C-alpha cells in the first residue's frame, strides 16, 4: 500500500484534533470545577445526576406546599381568634340583657346584629382567589350575609335558611328593595334544627331580587332563631407534602362557624324578645359553650397540623441537603487531580504538535526511516 503525504497529514490532523478535544475537556473541568459538563463525559453518572435533580424539584414543590399550608393555618388561626373575641363580646351583652333598660337593650340589639355580620364576614374569608371555608367549592361563598332570593319570569328560587332549633310554625316575608313586604307565606312542612329549604310560588307581578325574613316559633310559642345556611361542601383541602404523604386542612365552614352563627342569631332573637317583654329571660350558656369549644377545637387541630408540617419541612430540608451533596460529590472532583491531568494533557498535546510539525517538514518517505 502506498503511503502518500496527504494520508500522513490527515492522520496527524486527526490525532491532533483528538488531543485538542481532550485538552478542552480537562480545561473545562478545571474552569468549572465539575467532573461532568456534558452527558457524554459519563452517561451513567449523568443519569444519576438528572434523577437527583428531578427529585430536588419534587422536594421543592413539597416544600412550597408546606409553606403555603403554614400561611393558610396562620391566617385561619387569626380568623378563629377574632371570631372567638366577637362571641365573648356577645356573651358579655347577654349577661346583662335582662337587667338593662329599654334604650340599652335596643343598643345591644344593634351591636349583636353587627357582631353576627362580622362573623359571617370572617366565615367568608378568602385566601388568594378562593374562599377559605367552602370545602372544595372555593369559588362558592360559604355563607350569605342576608337571606335573599331571585324571581325570574314568575319562578322563585328556593328559600334556604337554618333554624337554631326545631320549630312548629314558620312565617316568611318576601321584601323588596324599599323594605316593603310584598308577599307573606306560611309553608306547611317539618321544620328541623339546621338547614331548611322552602319551595314557593311568587305572587303575580313579582320579578327580580328580593330578601326574605323568617319568623319561627316552637310548640309553646317561643321564638326560634334563623340564620344563614352553609353553601359549601364537607371536603377538606388535601396538601401533598411528600411521596404518598398528604395533610388535610379543614375548610368546612359549616362545621367551624355554624354553631357561632346559631348562637349569635339566638342572642339577636333574645334581644328582640327582651325589647318587647321586660320580663323576658333566656339562658344561652350552653349555646355559647358549644360555639367556643367548636372554635377552640379547630384552633388546636390547626396547631397540631402546623407542628407536623414543621417536622415534615425539617425532614425535607435534610433530604434536599443529601441530594445536593450527592450531586456535588459526583460533579465536583479533586482540583489538584484535575490540574495534574491538565498539565499531562498539555504535554501530550505539545508533543503531538511537534510530531506533526516534523512530519510536515519531510519531503519524502525515506525521511521517516
What distances in angstroms separate CA 283 from CA 17, 67, 164, 292, 352, one per listed residue?
96, 44, 14, 16, 103
CATH number, domain at 170?
A: 2.60.40.4070
* Cα gap 343→336, rounded to integer Å: 11
Residue 140 has phi, psi (to 5 degrees) of -100, 125
Domain count, the chain: 1
Residue 183 maps to a domain: yes
Contact 258, 252 (CB under 8 A): no
Residue 198 maps to a domain: yes
Query: Which alpha helices (H) appear in the chain, and where do they start and end?
Result: 5-32, 43-96, 102-123, 253-276, 285-331, 335-361
Which three cell numbers, joined as nine digits, stand for 264?
349569635
* Cα gap 253→276, rounded to integer Å: 34
Which three cell numbers, joined as nine digits, stand for 234?
364537607
Residue 303 maps to a domain: no
* Cα gap 138→118, rounded to integer Å: 20
Residue 345 maps to a domain: no
Residue 256 maps to a domain: no
Which residue is associated with the grid cell 443519569?
Answer: 47
Contact 159, 150 (CB under 8 A): no
Residue 202 maps to a domain: yes
Residue 27 maps to a domain: no
pLDDT at residue 365, rounded to an integer:
43
Give me the residues of the chain with pLDDT under 50, please.
Answer: 41, 334, 342, 345, 363-369
pLDDT at residue 239, rounded to an integer:
85
144 DSSP assignment: -
Which domain range does residue 169 map to? 146-227
Residue 337 maps to a domain: no
Amino acid at each position: 500500500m502506498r503511503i502518500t503525504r496527504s494520508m500522513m497529514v490527515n492522520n496527524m490532523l486527526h490525532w491532533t484534533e483528538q488531543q485538542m478535544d481532550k485538552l478542552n475537556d480537562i480545561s473545562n473541568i478545571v474552569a468549572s470545577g465539575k467532573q461532568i459538563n456534558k452527558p457524554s463525559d459519563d452517561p451513567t453518572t449523568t443519569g444519576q445526576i438528572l434523577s437527583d435533580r428531578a427529585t430536588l424539584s419534587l422536594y421543592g414543590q413539597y416544600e412550597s406546599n408546606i409553606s403555603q399550608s403554614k400561611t393558610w393555618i396562620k391566617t385561619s388561626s387569626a380568623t378563629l381568634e377574632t371570631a372567638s373575641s366577637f362571641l365573648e363580646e356577645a356573651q358579655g351583652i347577654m349577661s346583662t340583657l335582662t337587667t338593662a333598660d329599654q334604650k340599652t337593650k335596643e343598643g345591644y340589639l344593634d351591636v349583636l346584629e353587627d357582631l353576627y355580620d362580622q362573623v359571617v364576614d370572617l366565615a367568608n374569608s378568602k385566601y388568594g382567589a378562593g374562599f377559605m371555608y367552602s370545602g372544595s367549592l372555593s369559588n362558592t361563598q360559604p355563607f350569605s350575609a342576608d337571606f335573599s332570593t331571585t324571581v325570574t319570569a314568575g319562578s322563585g328560587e328556593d328559600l334556604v335558611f337554618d333554624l337554631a332549633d326545631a320549630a312548629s310554625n314558620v312565617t316568611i316575608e318576601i321584601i323588596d328593595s324599599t323594605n316593603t313586604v310584598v308577599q307573606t307565606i306560611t309553608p306547611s312542612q317539618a321544620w328541623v334544627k339546621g338547614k331548611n329549604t322552602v319551595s314557593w310560588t311568587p305572587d303575580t307581578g313579582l320579578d327580580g331580587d328580593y330578601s326574605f325574613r323568617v319568623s319561627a316559633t316552637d310548640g309553646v310559642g317561643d321564638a326560634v332563631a334563623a340564620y344563614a345556611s352553609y353553601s359549601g361542601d364537607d371536603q377538606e383541602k388535601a396538601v401533598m407534602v411528600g411521596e404518598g404523604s398528604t395533610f388535610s386542612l379543614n375548610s368546612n365552614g359549616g362545621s367551624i362557624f355554624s354553631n357561632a352563627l346559631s348562637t349569635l342569631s339566638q342572642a339577636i332573637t333574645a334581644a328582640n324578645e327582651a325589647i318587647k317583654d321586660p320580663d323576658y329571660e333566656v339562658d344561652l350558656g350552653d349555646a355559647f359553650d358549644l360555639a367556643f369549644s367548636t372554635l377552640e377545637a379547630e384552633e388546636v387541630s390547626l396547631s397540631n397540623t402546623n407542628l407536623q408540617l414543621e417536622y415534615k419541612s425539617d425532614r425535607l430540608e435534610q433530604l434536599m441537603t443529601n441530594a445536593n451533596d450527592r450531586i456535588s460529590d459526583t460533579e465536583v472532583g479533586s482540583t489538584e487531580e484535575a490540574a495534574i491531568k491538565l498539565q499531562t494533557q498539555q504535554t501530550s498535546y505539545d508533543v503531538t504538535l511537534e510530531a506533526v510539525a516534523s512530519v510536515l517538514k519531510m519531503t519524502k518517505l525515506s525521511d521517516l526511516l
